[in-house]
Chain A
Amino acid sequence: MYGNAYIENNGKELNSLTANEDPIKLAEFEARIAAGEKIEPHDWMPAEYRKQLVRMIEQHAHSEIIGALPEGTWITRAPGFRRKMALMAKVQDETGHGQLLYNAAETLGKSREDMTNDLITGKSKYSNVFNYPAKTWADSAVIAWLIDAGAIVNQLANSKGSYGPYCRALERICAEESFHLKYGHDNVVFLATGTPKQREMVQDALNRWWEPIMHFFGPSDKMSVHTETLMKWKVKMASNDDMRQTFLDMYVPKIWDLGLTLPDPNLRKNDETGKWEYTEPNWEVFKQVINGNGPCNKERLAVRRKAEENGRWVRQALLNKNAKYVAPLS
């Protein structure tokens, strides 16, 4: 699961960076992308294309790994065999997505170790939603349904992008995410149609998660940085507002159908424009959370850092050149 990448460069910077590229190679590269071809690891690519993709895929991979933490805490508390086994499999999938994505990013020249170090030192970002606490079982249900739904909107768009290894990873990831969505929806339905206590739990979770969900697709296009070149290169495939609209259109009616409410009195579909209208979420909060001041940033990184430290002796033992590799199947 993942939100939109936080692309930091502005258009001016991009133009100045591509100015150093061989214009003939750049034109060929752009023509290939325009023709719908995929760029593969050994193909020529502009330095800026490589840099933006590494940033994006790496952020996505980190989001999968950090995203396993808030939901993972509910594996040991899941009520009943059915939920416990499903949640284990779901969170395992997320970790597997991290593995796939680190592999995809490595094809662009950055090692998994470097990416991991950048994560635990706070240099690399990951999706903001994982800096919020999953306070109750209902939070884990809302995350599995709606955050994964948001991720699918984003990832389906990106799977049509131009970089071959990332697209192929995303196709596989989307197939698995669609099961998560079913799991999450089923879970929310049981709570929403259950006892008054269960219903209260899910409504409370939804109230708390609504703003992070609205933040999930990134800042409004009105205030977002210029991404024309990245769109042309098919690094970024849809605008933040377009993805948010797609999400609202697909999921708000389903939420209302369950008799649940959303904490935005202005949320409605404008029949004339066909667009959803809503109260702009607080983007100052969004920025604060990205910059490390969300409710759980420190805790998430501390957990990850401790896991890296505790596992270091295992990884170091594997690096012994004199040790014979043990083939598991022999």
Chain B
Amino acid sequence: MEFTEKHVMGLKDLLYKMADDLLILGHRNSEWTGLGPILEEDIAFSSMAQDKMGQSLALYEILHELGESDPDTVAFTRNDHQFHCSQLVELPIGEYDFSLVRHFFYDHADAIRFDMLADTVVEPLQMVAKKFRGEIKYHTMHANTWLKQLAQGSEEARLRMQSAINETFPFALGMFEPSEYEAELIEAGIFQGEEALKNQWLETVVPLLESYGYTVPDASTVTPIFGGRKGVHTEYLQPLLDEMTEVFRIDPAAEW
């Protein structure tokens, strides 16, 4: 079908939120460099950060082909209100329990999202989605391993992880904040929509967590923390952006 202006707007919105999520979470994951609980985890988080950064770049490039500014300008010159990332990804790394739980929730959602997008009618997006699936497989494998291991490791670990799950869950549901263009995206075969994504995500993460021995809050009674997709953010995003763009802003026209 021929895309209307609304279809294109919906596609751009979808690309922006995915790319912004990946950029900000990649940035956060990279903050573990040199600080992980064991060297091997430092290295693992850095690998995942690099994948996320590369994935966000590929999505910003698709946006650039659709007429948006180049990836560096888009990533390094917007303020927090112009970002469409979920509030989940902008939260500080906190302790390892929170970072692992965020990683688990986010990467399962991402894996399903890119599975869905492997069938999108938008060809460049379909191509990158197929490529990313191969990378994300290792991210979810890493998250599952740790959530399972820590559930049985010690009472302290299990309690820490359980409380991180409880506290993170409303933010995780916030990832599925619907856009203005859900109907258009579904109708045009661009994306199956946030509601379908959320349902598949719940069908994946809830049984996994329960099988590890955790309890999961009831999604139907939890109020999701929305706002991120519409440019409403926590107090943590703008300082992150200030830091990220500190050198770039010295001279945005310079080549670095």
User: What's the least CB distance linking B54 to chain A, in Å?
Assistant: 7
| Interchain CB contact under 8 A, A328 and B142 | yes
| Interchain CB contact under 8 A, B50 and A92 | yes
How many residues of B are in contact with the other chain, CB < 8 A? 51
Among B34, B35, B75, the most chain A Cβ lie within 10 Å of the Cβ of B34
Known: A137-B247, A326-B149. A303 touches B35 (CB 8 A): yes
Closest to B53 in A: A85
* Complex Cα spacing A96 to B46, Å: 11
Among B33, B38, B71, B254, the most chain A Cβ lie within 10 Å of the Cβ of B33
User: What's the least CB distance linking B60 to chain A, in Å?
Assistant: 8
Cβ-based interface call for B57 (8 A): yes
| Interchain CB contact under 8 A, A98 and B39 | yes
How many residues of A are in contact with the other chain, CB < 8 A? 49
Interface residues of B in 198-256 (CB under 8 A from A): 240, 243-244, 246-248, 250-251, 254-256
Chain B residue numbers with a CB within 8 Å of A329 are 141
| Interchain CB contact under 8 A, B33 and A75 | yes
User: What's the least CB distance linking B151 to chain A, in Å?
Assistant: 9
Cβ-based interface call for B65 (8 A): no
Interface residues of B in 20-61 (CB under 8 A from A): 27, 30-31, 33-43, 46-47, 49-50, 53-54, 57
Cβ-based interface call for A252 (8 A): no
B interface secondary structure, majority? helix
Chain A residue numbers with a CB within 8 Å of B31 are 75-76
* Complex Cα spacing A72 to B30, Å: 9
| Interchain CB contact under 8 A, B37 and A310 | yes
| Interchain CB contact under 8 A, A310 and B50 | no
Cβ-based interface call for A223 (8 A): no
* Complex Cα spacing A194 to B251, Å: 10
| Interchain CB contact under 8 A, B256 and A80 | yes
Chain B residue numbers with a CB within 8 Å of A307 are 34-37
Cβ-based interface call for B181 (8 A): no
Which of B4-12, B116-124, B152-160, B166-174 lines the interface with chain A? B152-160
Interface residues of A in 277-330 (CB under 8 A from B): 303, 307, 310-318, 320, 322-326, 328-329
Chain A residue numbers with a CB within 8 Å of B36 are 307, 311
User: What's the least CB distance linking B22 to chain A, in Å?
Assistant: 12
| Interchain CB contact under 8 A, A95 and B34 | yes
Q: Which of A85, A89, A91, A137 contacts B34 (CB 8 A)?
A: A91
| Interchain CB contact under 8 A, B53 and A84 | yes
User: Which residues from chain A sit less than 8 Å from chain B, CB to CB?
Assistant: 65, 68-69, 72, 74-81, 83-85, 88-89, 91-92, 95-96, 98-99, 102, 137, 190, 194-195, 197-198, 303, 307, 310-318, 320, 322-326, 328-329
